[in-house]
């Protein structure tokens, strides 16, 4: 009996090779000779996992091998790594270390996408917050924490990185040409299927030459009505969504809870008069560089006695103070869609 | 019936044609069939035939290795590892089984494990050509220039198995982009296995990658040997300059 592995000539009748232990003859006990098979549905999952293991979500280039030692040292610098980590994983990728943070990267991507999808809701903010946290973890994992020995320095660094990334996430969507922003509607406008509290997505980049139409929903900054000189009038909101009711040069009146523009009654469904504007009789001509923007402004919350001049100061918004124009209902999800 | 077929002569009586009858379906028969299907690029049928060979004789080492290799070809790496472990129970520490485990790990993007298995396999006695091929694959995974030497070593010790090993080496080289070297080996393979659709297809793919005009004819030859083979058809379509949308809309 010759062993198939080591070619050792064994004694006849031997079941396993004396030298190496390999099986020599057909065993009496039944051995399953049919291999296990992979169910088809597993294939795509395994493929994805494999490609992640390979780290080829971003193609690997051996950047290090072509660099001089000095440049290598520069690239190894943890501060540069921190800077490159503005794009999560970029610093690791340049050093062929992407594999270390591949799961973090995936978690960041999922959280970011979920956060953007649910933006305007509490869950969306939580997801974005977590995405910022994971992003910070990726940036810090690169090496900056290893270089710091003092615990207080580490804590300060972590806080600074978190603050920096929060600003980054806040302002990146506003960078042209995206210019995305948003705000909560304070009005219920049945015509646009908008209710108070809905989050509307806006797009900025309006200049003085852009003419707004009556009924446009716009994002205005509180600076607009701080100029009234009465600090107790506006609410503490950063930005407010309002509806353009009066165009430059038009004469606007509020009579019997209805807007009247140049003697014509406006549709109440399309141009509802906010509660606080209903109490005061108002009539004015809109200046050429301004629009009349109707919004809630939370003026009544302070119990201030308002006059027509206050309304004029608050609602006449200059073209330059209009930041963006709303184009989409982003939240709630069920009513997500473009505005008419 | 022939008029003179029954005439008797002084010399030997004319030999009658013997009917060949059914071949003996033993382990060797199924093993040969498995090899035939592998050469045709039908890994699923090859796997089944290896299993049938093992039903006849479960000590047939080549069939165990063949099964693991076919599982790897079919992209079932986890299953291949499980099966290699099972084979290792029968053939403990066999370098070839360790080598195929290295291949499975390497293709499943588990390079550290692949290196460990390859190191282990190469440290054993009685190293087979496949051990060197596995080493070459692992080295290519590490982008090491040693890979070419491993391939040469595998071919040099292959002996009778040289054409098979050359085919495997050529496939490995094609996967890694060394088309010209692969063509050199494949030209030798098609001389020995002119009916191997796999060899022709691999040759055609390499030729197509290098822009050789004979690539089309080579791939057609492959399709002629195994009509309707999807891989060859895809390669031929690509060779004919039909892009994805062209194939999608049948243009």
Contact B90 A25 (CB under 8 A): no
Cis peptide before A142 (omega within 30 of 0): no
The predicted-structure confidence for B206-240, as pLDDT tens digits, reads as follows 988 887 888 889 999 999 999 988 889 888 888 77
Average pLDDT over residues B128-157: 90
Does residue A220 surpass a pLDDT of 90? no
Report the residue of chain A nearest B108, measured CA to CA. A50
CA distance A267 to chain B (A): 52
Average pLDDT over residues A273-292: 87
- pLDDT value of position A228: 45
The sign of the torsion formed by the CA atoms of A189, A194, A197, A203 equals: negative
- pLDDT value of position A60: 40
In this complex, the residue of B51, B77, B79 whose CB is nearest that of residue A33 is B51
B213 in helix, strand or coil? coil
* Domain range enclosing B76: 27-157
Contacts of A149 (CB under 8 A, 6+ apart): none
User: Is B54 a domain residue?
Assistant: yes
What residues of chain A lie within 8 A of the CB of B104, using their CB? none
Q: List the beta bridge partners of residue B131.
A: none
Given a contact cutoff of 8 angstroms between Cβ atoms, the answer to whether A111 and A127 are in contact is: yes
User: Is A45 a domain residue?
Assistant: no
When pLDDT is cut at 50, 70 and 90, the band that residue A76 belongs to is low
Q: Which helix (H) or strand (E) holds A264?
A: strand A264-265
In this complex, the residue of B61, B74, B93 whose CB is nearest that of residue A4 is B61
Q: List the beta bridge partners of residue A16.
A: A23
User: Is B201 a domain residue?
Assistant: no
Given a contact cutoff of 8 angstroms between Cβ atoms, the answer to whether B31 and B61 are in contact is: no
Q: Whole-angstrom Cα distance, residue B110 to residue A277?
A: 69
Does residue B39 surpass a pLDDT of 90? yes
The predicted-structure confidence for A162-193, as pLDDT tens digits, reads as follows 999 999 998 888 887 778 888 888 888 988 89
Average pLDDT over residues A330-336: 90
**Could you count the other beta carbons within 10 Å of the beta carbon of residue B194?**
11
- pLDDT value of position A52: 80
Contacts of A188 (CB under 8 A, 6+ apart): A194, A195, A196, A272
Does residue B16 surpass a pLDDT of 70? no
* Whether residues A169 and A192 fall in one domain: no
Contact B91 A22 (CB under 8 A): yes
User: Is A57 a domain residue?
Assistant: no
Does residue A54 surpass a pLDDT of 80? no
- pLDDT value of position A226: 46
User: Is A282 a domain residue?
Assistant: yes
Does residue A275 surpass a pLDDT of 60? yes
User: Is B195 a domain residue?
Assistant: no
Predicted-assembly ipTM surpassing the 0.85 threshold = no
What are the C-alpha distances in Å from A88 to residues A21, A22, A130, B15?
Answer: 53, 52, 14, 83
Average pLDDT over residues B32-53: 93
User: Is A328 a domain residue?
Assistant: yes
Does residue A74 surpass a pLDDT of 70? no
Contact A20 B93 (CB under 8 A): yes
Q: Which of A229-238, B82-91, B197-206 has the lowest mean pLDDT?
A: A229-238
Q: Which of A47-56, A95-104, B131-140, B177-186 has the lowest mean pLDDT?
A: A47-56
User: Is B107 a domain residue?
Assistant: yes
Q: Whole-angstrom Cα distance, residue A273 to residue A292?
A: 12
B59 in helix, strand or coil? coil
When pLDDT is cut at 50, 70 and 90, the band that residue A232 belongs to is very low
* Whether residues A204 and A333 fall in one domain: yes
- pLDDT value of position A61: 44
**Could you count the other beta carbons within 10 Å of the beta carbon of residue A178?**
12
* Whether residues A321 and A187 fall in one domain: yes
User: Is A33 a domain residue?
Assistant: no
A287 in helix, strand or coil? coil
Does residue B169 surpass a pLDDT of 90? yes
Q: What would you report as the CA-atom Rg of chain A, rounded to the nearest whole angstrom?
A: 33
Does residue B148 surpass a pLDDT of 70? yes
* Domain range enclosing A129: 62-174
* Whether residues A188 and A168 fall in one domain: no
- pLDDT value of position B118: 93
A284 in helix, strand or coil? strand
User: Is B196 a domain residue?
Assistant: no
β pairing state of A316-318 and A322-331? unpaired
User: Is A123 a domain residue?
Assistant: yes
In chain B, the number of structural domains is: 1
- pLDDT value of position B50: 94
**pTM recorded for the entire structure:** 0.50
Does residue B48 surpass a pLDDT of 90? yes
When pLDDT is cut at 50, 70 and 90, the band that residue A57 belongs to is very low
Q: Whole-angstrom Cα distance, residue B47 to residue A102?
A: 36
Strand order in the sheet with A251-255: A264-265, A258-261, A251-255, A282-285
In chain A, the number of structural domains is: 3
Average pLDDT over residues A207-231: 67
Which of A14, A33, A100 best tests the B interface by mutation, with the highest count of B CBs <10 A? Answer: A33
Contact B110 A25 (CB under 8 A): no
Given a contact cutoff of 8 angstroms between Cβ atoms, the answer to whether A226 and A172 are in contact is: no
Tell me what percent of the residues of chain B surpass a pLDDT of 70. Answer: 87
User: Is B49 a domain residue?
Assistant: yes
Question: Which CATH number belongs to the domain containing residue B122 in this structure?
Answer: 1.25.40.10
- pLDDT value of position A180: 87
What residues of chain B lie within 8 A of the CB of A27, using their CB? 58
Considering A6-15, A178-187, A304-313, B79-88, the range whose residues carry the highest mean pLDDT is B79-88
Given a contact cutoff of 8 angstroms between Cβ atoms, the answer to whether B42 and B72 are in contact is: no
């Amino acid at each position: 009996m010759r062993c198939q592995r080591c070619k050792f000539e064994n004694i006849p009748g031997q079941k396993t090779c004396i030298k190496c232990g390999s099986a020599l003859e057909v065993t009496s006990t039944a051995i399953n000779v049919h291999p296990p098979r992979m169910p088809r549905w597993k294939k795509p999952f395994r493929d994805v996992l494999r490609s992640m293991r390979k780290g080829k979500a971003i193609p690997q280039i051996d950047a290090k091998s072509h660099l001089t030692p000095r440049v290598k040292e520069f690239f190894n610098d943890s501060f540069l790594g921190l800077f490159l980590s503005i794009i999560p994983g970029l610093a690791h990728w340049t050093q062929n270390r992407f594999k270390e943070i591949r799961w973090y990267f995936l978690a960041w991507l999922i959280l970011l996408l979920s956060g953007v999808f649910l933006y305007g809701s509490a869950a969306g903010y939580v997801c974005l917050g977590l995405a910022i946290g994971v992003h910070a973890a990726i940036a810090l994992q690169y090496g900056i924490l290893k270089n710091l020995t003092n615990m207080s320095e580490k804590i300060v660094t972590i806080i600074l990185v978190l603050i920096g990334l929060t600003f980054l996430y806040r302002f990146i969507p506003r960078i042209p040409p995206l210019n995305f922003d948003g705000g909560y509607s304070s009005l219920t406008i049945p015509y646009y299927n908008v209710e108070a509290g809905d989050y509307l997505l806006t797009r900025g980049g309006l200049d003085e030459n852009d003419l707004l139409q009556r009924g446009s929903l716009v994002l205005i900054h509180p600076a607009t009505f701080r100029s009234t000189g009465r600090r107790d009038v506006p609410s503490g909101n950063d930005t407010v969504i309002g509806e353009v009711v009066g165009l430059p040069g038009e004469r606007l009146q509020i009579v019997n809870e209805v807007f009247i523009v140049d003697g014509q009654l406006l549709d109440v469904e399309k141009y509802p008069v906010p509660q606080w504007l209903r109490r005061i009789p108002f009539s004015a001509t809109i200046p050429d560089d301004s629009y009349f923007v109707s919004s809630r402004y939370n003026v009544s919350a302070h119990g201030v006695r308002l006059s027509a001049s206050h309304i004029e100061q608050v609602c006449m918004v200059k073209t330059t103070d209009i930041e963006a124009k709303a184009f989409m209902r982003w939240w709630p999800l069920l009513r997500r869609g473009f505005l008419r | 019936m022939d008029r003179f077929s029954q005439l008797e002569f002084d010399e030997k009586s004319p030999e009658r044609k013997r009917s060949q009858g059914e071949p003996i379906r033993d382990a060797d028969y199924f093993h040969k069939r498995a090899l035939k299907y592998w050469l045709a690029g039908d890994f699923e049928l090859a796997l089944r035939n290896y299993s049938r060979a093992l039903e006849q004789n479960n000590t047939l080492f080549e069939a165990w290795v063949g099964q693991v290799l076919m599982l790897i070809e079919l992209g079932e790496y986890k299953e291949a590892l499980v099966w290699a472990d099972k084979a290792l129970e029968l053939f403990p520490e066999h370098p070839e089984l360790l080598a195929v485990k290295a291949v499975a790990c390497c293709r499943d993007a588990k390079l550290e494990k692949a290196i460990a298995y390859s190191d282990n396999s190469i440290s054993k006695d009685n190293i087979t050509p496949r051990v060197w091929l596995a080493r070459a694959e692992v080295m290519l995974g590490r982008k090491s220039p040693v890979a070419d030497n491993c391939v040469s070593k595998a071919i040099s010790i292959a002996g009778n198995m040289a054409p098979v090993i050359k085919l495997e080496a050529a496939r490995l080289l094609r996967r890694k982009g060394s088309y010209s070297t692969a063509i050199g080996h494949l030209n030798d393979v098609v001389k020995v296995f002119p009916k191997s659709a796999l060899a022709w297809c691999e040759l055609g793919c390499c030729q197509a990658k290098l822009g050789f005009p004979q690539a089309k004819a080579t791939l057609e030859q492959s399709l002629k040997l195994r009509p309707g083979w999807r891989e060859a058809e895809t390669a031929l379509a690509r060779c004919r300059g039909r892009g994805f949308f062209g194939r999608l809309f049948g243009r």
